[in-house]
């Protein structure tokens, strides 16, 4: 880490800062220039708060040379992490389709969709039992009952379940869930992340609405620092000024994350675009840039879905997407 | 709400949509134009999901004519809400200073700062016991012990306490807290909001990092829909592409919120800018545009603060800010 | 267009607005609700300024039902526009590679690269003669001399030239240029757009750094309104809060633009990402989501390039990208 | 400037980069760490392209320690620049009101407004003769005739004129203009900036819609590098995801720019908010945080204004704003 001190700063203030930095177990290399004094911080800077230092009155700016995350860092773990869920692998060249409705609505609905996506080729069933909604007046999910219906669908189809947790008090209910999803709004719910770190469950960690890739990796680090290394990262669109799509799908996140970390990366084009018509194109694009999987909303009757129907494709459309994505994956081998 | 249907849409699909809308207890007015069919939705549209409709394949676009929030809406409650905390009023012309350190660090620290800000004129003491931090390796707060130290400081100075809750499982510990703060990262933690709605505690609700003002009001609505109407909104900077400041303080939020809602609005220039040197100017600006209060980080030794020291001003600087802000408030009367 | 008037507005003010709207040759349908008065504007609203109306004190909000662009609108021109440049077609199923260096640096450099990209399969040669640079102290391009070198390269290789115009006073120098590029910073240089509209040259119009897709189409409309309909749109990344990539490539722009307009759409992954290592993945993704072409920076010695070398790939890498992109295109047929 | 090289990079590639950096007249200090090799670049780095280096495959990241602008840098010119326009000073404690209509519409209109704002206390008259509009179908300004009407208004009231230039070919028409405005869309029209640098006219340089403060200063540097140091910077709102206001007024830009540069800074709350009702609050806030002036749209009949009427206040409202702003300025002395 490099700290540039403003010209004209009192020597006493610089000394004060240097002493404090040394107390963090860092070695300090100082060089005095004509307009700035530069401090080089050597040692483990992952616990140093760059915002704190850059905000000090006497500091011009600060630059981090090494990343603040360790367990998630490819530099220290060069090989791809491969996560095995009930025999289905993801990462390290293994690609998975995760499909299903936004919300579990009934036993018939979830079973019907589960059978359809299985038949089309998907291994994983997704479905929301707890649904975070912007409005308190909107449908909030079937909750515990929804989880039971997902388990039944798994019992019948064999497809492992991916579903979202909204609060850590619900964790005991998730015992039979195969992959626990942390939604975009909870990406920085640090208490939740730490609690999930104490389980051994695979975690599907979605990027927050306005979070950087580094912050996503820091949230993965929260989970990993408690001992759980089974993390699947998910790009699901970020908020920008463009209003035509619900969010802006940042596909360059896929090759960037593959460079920075060994964890697998999946893409959710349904939530990113908010429009079913855009999903097939963006699913193909996600596969083309190297994603380790795709997560798609599929509904047997999108117009009447209780939640997010507009971004859902039908099982027939999913079967088409499945075929195209497989062909794209072969094209980039 | 106005829905524009694409040209060439099957009549059966339009009928399907109309029937579904009617099932939501809405009256539908339809008019057929040369290029579009327009549906006017009349009735209580607050529970209609605009994203769902706008994502449908047959829909061009959707426009909401009335706001999706009711309890927080000034249209239905024209008078300013005034919140009384231990005899100190906020809103409706009553202005308050909320000051204190980012983190409670020790008994001496919090008492010393509490006395200093009281002496300078602040009525409210803020201080973090639970600190949300991007990195798992950073100081996370004194937690329960921090809450006790805040209570002691209140006992000695009489200043009501404002402190952040990070998880709803901690709620029992907050019994003696006067104002419970919901941080930016938790603005859409809907389970937490609903639980807080069941208390009668004043809630200081911070705007999320990338949330619109309408989303902030929908989160207030979550709390209010459970019966708690004591909400103070807080603008604390939003994320933009500009990197010189930590966030971009959106001061126009103050007059906009005053137009849309009857709830009081305070401004936090410390977290918004991330730099102590910018705090006095932005505090004055917040007062000038009509804020009902200012929330400031004050620390007796900013350089050595365990957390966010860089954006903290000293008690002496706070005393200056206090005087300037009071003069600005008189100037705009 | 739908205008919602605030409750309690003076009848005289509403009448005033209605009269003014009628003077714009619009028919006004008015309906009075409990909380709002709604005005429906029927007729050609493409010349109505939505910002003006939405800012009026008496207006709640305004929604545009029909798009403000006409010539570029697929609604009125359902068939894909196909642009023919020296026998090479783009759009309507025809895909093109546009490749070459950021800056023309010397006769040897541009010829060598032109031959290499031709050999690899590209039909179009790009190269900057005028280079917009953030700093006045950076290399600004070879200007007129650079244009001459491009013409020589075309004479030798037969590849039509694509190069950027920075000011309309330079237009006479562009007589032998095959496709004139309007850069992101000039997307709303309306005088330049109108002047280009008076030529018959194909125009490659890049999306501005923070411009919506609708604004991009309005800029195309500026050119088309003067008579030139040969426009190729280009997505090249938008500015967001993420700093790891230079910009955020918004690939969903490709299917969205194909829905809204009949004009061809190409993608520039080089400027979007700013990093050569990300270019091959994003080029494949662009092809997968249906782009009509890709624009790539290729340099024979990227590390020593005078400008933007870091985002350039080598001719050998280009040959690989070419093959992969062709395979991806077949996969999505 | 500090460059961090990736672990495992070939020594030959590092040498290649070091040689190239030396050819830019920089001294290179190299240090080899366990995971990175660090290069410290000493000398005049203002002409080094940080994007180029950070994009190289072998580079982890790059940090600039010193600013890339020199003439605009307060570090090298500690005293405030004071600009004198016809005897009216701006900067260094001198505050000015710049007021008038968005567009010049007629002789009567501009004269009436000019007299009103003069009477209320403003010294400068603004008014657009050339109006950049998103749509080719919207009113584009009276152009040369508009400039003549502005000159007449100046002749009658004595108020110096501020008006926008849209293309450098129009420069000869601006001979009698007192302050030439460069609009947000032209902030990076570098040919125009250089041409304006060759005049001695005061330039009012508006921040682009999505430009950083550093980019604003680099654009000022373009003008200054040609010899014209009479630059007034203008914050006018930036584009964010929030849609309630037209743009987000970034008032922290005022104290930040005062720290980084010696040039005066004015604020335009009319364009930033797009709503007349928000203008008085934001004008007061701009004064409170230390702006050197305010630029306001004032129209005698806002509802019928041909352009941007919605954000215009009336002369009577301007007189109120004038008084409040003066009181706020006294409050912060």
Query: Which residues of chain D are at the A interface, by a Cβ-Cβ cutoff of 8 Å?
Result: 2, 4, 7, 33, 35-36, 38, 40, 42, 60-61, 63-66, 75, 239-241, 243
Q: Which chains touch B (3 or more CB pairs under 8 A)?
A: A, C, D
Cβ atoms of B205 and B220 within 8 Å: the answer is yes
Confidence label for C40 from pLDDT (cuts 50, 70 and 90): confident
Confidence label for D177 from pLDDT (cuts 50, 70 and 90): very high
Mind listing the pLDDT tens digit for each residue in D87-119?
999 999 999 999 999 999 999 999 999 999 999
Confidence label for C43 from pLDDT (cuts 50, 70 and 90): confident
- Going by C-alpha positions, the residue among D91, D330, D323 that lies closest to residue B324 is D330
CB < 8 Å to D287, chain B: 288
- Summarize the confidence of residues A271-292 as an average pLDDT: 96
| pLDDT exceeds cutoff 70 at A78 | yes
CB < 8 Å to D238, chain B: 240-242, 248
Q: How close C191 comes to chain B (CA, Å)? A: 28
pLDDT of residue D62: 80
CB contact under 8 A, C52 and D192: no
Mind listing the pLDDT tens digit for each residue in B131-181?
988 888 888 899 999 999 999 999 999 999 999 999 999 999 999 999 999
Q: For residue D46, what is the DSSP state?
A: G
| pLDDT exceeds cutoff 60 at B67 | yes
- Summarize the confidence of residues D65-86 as an average pLDDT: 90
Mind listing the pLDDT tens digit for each residue in B230-242?
999 999 999 999 9
Query: B–C: how many Cβ contacts below 8 A?
Result: 43
Confidence label for A46 from pLDDT (cuts 50, 70 and 90): confident
CB contact under 8 A, B66 and C2: no
- Going by C-alpha positions, the residue among A201, A208, A157, A195 that lies closest to residue A179 is A201
Mind listing the pLDDT tens digit for each residue in A176-223?
999 999 999 999 999 999 999 999 999 999 999 999 999 999 999 999
Q: What percent of chain B has pLDDT over 70?
A: 96
The Cα C173–Cα C129 span in angstroms is: 11
The Cα D229–Cα D110 span in angstroms is: 30
Q: Which chains touch D (3 or more CB pairs under 8 A)?
A: A, B, C
Choose, out of D1, D66, D252, the residue to mutate when testing the contact with A (most A CBs < 10 Å): D66
Q: Which chains touch A (3 or more CB pairs under 8 A)?
A: B, C, D
Q: Could you tell me which chain C residue has the CA closest to the CA of A248?
A: C250
Query: Which residues of chain B are at the D interface, by a Cβ-Cβ cutoff of 8 Å?
Result: 210, 212-214, 238, 240-245, 248-252, 254-256, 259, 272-273, 277-278, 281-282, 284-290, 324, 327-328, 330-332
pLDDT of residue D229: 96
Relative orientation angle of helices D279-288 and B279-288, to the nearest 10 degrees: 150
DSSP secondary structure string for all residues of A140-191: ---THHHHHHHHHHHHHH-PPEEEEE--GGGGGGGTT-SEEEE-GGGTT-HH
Mind listing the pLDDT tens digit for each residue in D16-46?
888 888 888 888 888 776 667 888 887 777 7
| pLDDT exceeds cutoff 90 at C233 | yes
CB contact under 8 A, D38 and A65: yes
Confidence label for A310 from pLDDT (cuts 50, 70 and 90): confident
CB contact under 8 A, A285 and C281: no
The Cα B297–Cα B276 span in angstroms is: 9
Phi then psi dihedrals of residue B196, to 5 deg: -65, -25
Candidate from C244, C284, C285 with C-beta closest to A213: C244
Candidate from B191, B277, B309 with C-beta closest to A167: B191
- Going by C-alpha positions, the residue among A183, A107, A104, A122 that lies closest to residue A158 is A122
CB contact under 8 A, C285 and A285: yes
Confidence label for B274 from pLDDT (cuts 50, 70 and 90): very high
How many angstroms from the chain centroid is the CA of residue B190?
14
Choose, out of A135, A143, A219, A226, the residue to mutate when testing the contact with B (most B CBs < 10 Å): A135
Please report the sign of the dihedral spanned by the C-alpha atoms of residue B16, residue B20, residue B25, residue B30.
Answer: negative
Candidate from D259, D282, D289 with C-beta closest to B284: D289
Mind listing the pLDDT tens digit for each residue in D230-287?
999 999 999 999 999 999 999 999 999 999 999 999 999 999 999 999 999 999 999 9
Q: How close D256 comes to chain B (CA, Å)? A: 7
pLDDT of residue B307: 54
Task: Mention every residue, 6+ apart, whose C-beta is less than 8 A from residue B251.
Answer: B235, B267, B282, B285, B286, B289, D249, D251, D282, D285
| pLDDT exceeds cutoff 90 at D59 | no
Q: Could you tell me which chain A residue has the CA closest to the CA of D260?
A: A60
The residue ranking higher by pLDDT, A12 or A129, is A129
The residue ranking higher by pLDDT, D61 or C220, is C220
pLDDT of residue C25: 84
Candidate from D212, D242, D281 with C-beta closest to B289: D281
The residue ranking higher by pLDDT, B14 or A241, is A241
CB < 8 Å to B65, chain C: 2, 4, 36, 38, 60-61, 63
- Summarize the confidence of residues A69-84 as an average pLDDT: 93
Task: Mention every residue, 6+ apart, whose C-beta is less than 8 A from residue B177.
Answer: B147, B150, B161, B162, B163, B201
Q: How close C261 comes to chain A (CA, Å)? A: 14
SS3 B35: coil
CB contact under 8 A, D65 and A2: yes
Choose, out of C136, C193, C244, C316, the residue to mutate when testing the contact with D (most D CBs < 10 Å): C136
pLDDT of residue D303: 63
Tokens of C245: 């990539």
CB contact under 8 A, C212 and A282: no
- Summarize the confidence of residues D169-180 as an average pLDDT: 97
Choose, out of D69, D241, D244, D256, the residue to mutate when testing the contact with A (most A CBs < 10 Å): D241
CB contact under 8 A, B190 and A136: yes
Q: Choose the most confident range, by mean pLDDT, from A308-322, D18-32, D157-171.
A: D157-171
Tokens of B265: 């609005």
The Cα A272–Cα A238 span in angstroms is: 7
Choose, out of A18, A134, A309, the residue to mutate when testing the contact with B (most B CBs < 10 Å): A134
Candidate from B61, B65, B239 with C-beta closest to C241: B239
Mind listing the pLDDT tens digit for each residue in B189-234?
999 999 999 999 999 999 999 999 999 999 999 999 999 999 999 9
Q: How close C4 comes to chain B (CA, Å)? A: 6
Q: What percent of chain D has pLDDT over 70?
A: 96
CB < 8 Å to B330, chain D: 327, 331
CB contact under 8 A, C310 and D52: yes
pLDDT of residue D280: 98
pLDDT of residue D68: 86
What residues does C313 pair with on adjacent strands?
A: C298
- Tell me the pLDDT of chain A averaged across its residues: 92
- Summarize the confidence of residues D291-304 as an average pLDDT: 88
Q: How close A178 comes to chain B (CA, Å)? A: 23
Choose, out of A283, A289, A321, the residue to mutate when testing the contact with C (most C CBs < 10 Å): A289
How many angstroms from the chain centroid is the CA of residue A251?
13
Tokens of A159: 């497809």
| pLDDT exceeds cutoff 90 at B10 | no
- The region of weakest confidence among B24-33, B130-139, C258-267, D98-107 is B24-33
Q: What is the dihedral of CA B111, B114, B115, B117, to 10 degrees?
A: 160
Cβ atoms of B309 and B98 within 8 Å: the answer is no
Longest CA pairwise span in chain C (Å): 74
Q: How close C208 comes to chain B (CA, Å)? A: 15
| pLDDT exceeds cutoff 90 at A68 | no
Candidate from A190, A276, A308 with C-beta closest to B57: A276
The residue ranking higher by pLDDT, B89 or A137, is B89
CB < 8 Å to B208, chain A: 209
CB contact under 8 A, C4 and B65: yes
CB < 8 Å to C324, chain A: 331-332
Confidence label for B255 from pLDDT (cuts 50, 70 and 90): very high
Query: A–B: how many Cβ contacts below 8 A?
Result: 161
| pLDDT exceeds cutoff 90 at B300 | no
Confidence label for A238 from pLDDT (cuts 50, 70 and 90): very high
CB contact under 8 A, B240 and D248: yes
- Going by C-alpha positions, the residue among C91, C53, C24 that lies closest to residue C230 is C91
Q: Could you tell me which chain A residue has the CA closest to the CA of C333?
A: A324
- The region of weakest confidence among B80-94, C187-201, C307-321 is C307-321
| pLDDT exceeds cutoff 70 at B308 | no
SS3 A297: strand
- Tell me the pLDDT of chain C averaged across its residues: 92
Phi then psi dihedrals of residue C153, to 5 deg: -65, -35
pLDDT of residue D307: 54
Candidate from D53, D68, D140 with C-beta closest to C135: D68
- Tell me the pLDDT of chain D averaged across its residues: 92
pLDDT of residue B304: 62
Cβ atoms of A76 and A70 within 8 Å: the answer is yes
């Amino acid at each position: 880490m490099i700290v540039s001190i403003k010209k004209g700063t009192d020597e006493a203030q610089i000394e004060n800062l240097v002493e404090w930095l040394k107390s963090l177990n860092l070695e300090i290399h100082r060089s005095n220039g004509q307009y700035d004094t530069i401090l080089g911080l050597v040692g483990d800077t992952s616990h140093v708060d760059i915002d704190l230092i850059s905000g000090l009155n006497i500091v011009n700016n600060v630059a981090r040379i090494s990343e603040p995350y360790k367990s998630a860092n490819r530099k220290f773990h060069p090989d791809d992490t491969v996560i095995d869920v009930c025999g289905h692998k993801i990462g390290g060249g293994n690609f998975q389709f995760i499909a299903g409705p936004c919300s579990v609505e009934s036993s018939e609905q979830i079973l019907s969709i589960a059978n359809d996506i299985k038949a089309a080729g998907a291994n994983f069933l997704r479905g929301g039992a707890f649904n975070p909604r912007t409005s308190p007046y909107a449908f909030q999910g079937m909750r515990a009952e929804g989880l039971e219906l997902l388990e039944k669908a798994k019992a019948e189809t064999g497809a492992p379940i991916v579903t979202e947790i909204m609060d850590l008090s619900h964790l005991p209910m998730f015992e039979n869930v195969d992959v626990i999803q942390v939604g975009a709004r909870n990406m920085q719910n640090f208490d939740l992340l730490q609690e999930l770190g104490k389980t051994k469950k695979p975690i599907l960690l979605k990027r927050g609405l306005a979070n950087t890739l580094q912050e996503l990796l820091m949230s993965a680090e929260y989970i990993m620092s408690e001992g759980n290394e089974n993390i699947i990262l998910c790009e699901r669109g970020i908020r920008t000024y463009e209003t035509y799509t619900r969010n802006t799908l940042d596909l360059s996140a896929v090759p960037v994350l593959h460079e920075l970390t060994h964890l697998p990366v999946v893409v959710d084009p349904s939530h990113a675009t908010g429009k079913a018509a855009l999903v097939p194109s963006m699913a193909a694009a996600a596969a083309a840039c190297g994603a380790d999987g795709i997560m798609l909303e599929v509904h047997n009757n999108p117009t009447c879905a209780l939640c997010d129907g507009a971004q859902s494709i039908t099982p027939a459309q999913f079967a088409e997407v499945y075929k195209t994505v497989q062909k794209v994956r072969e094209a980039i081998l």
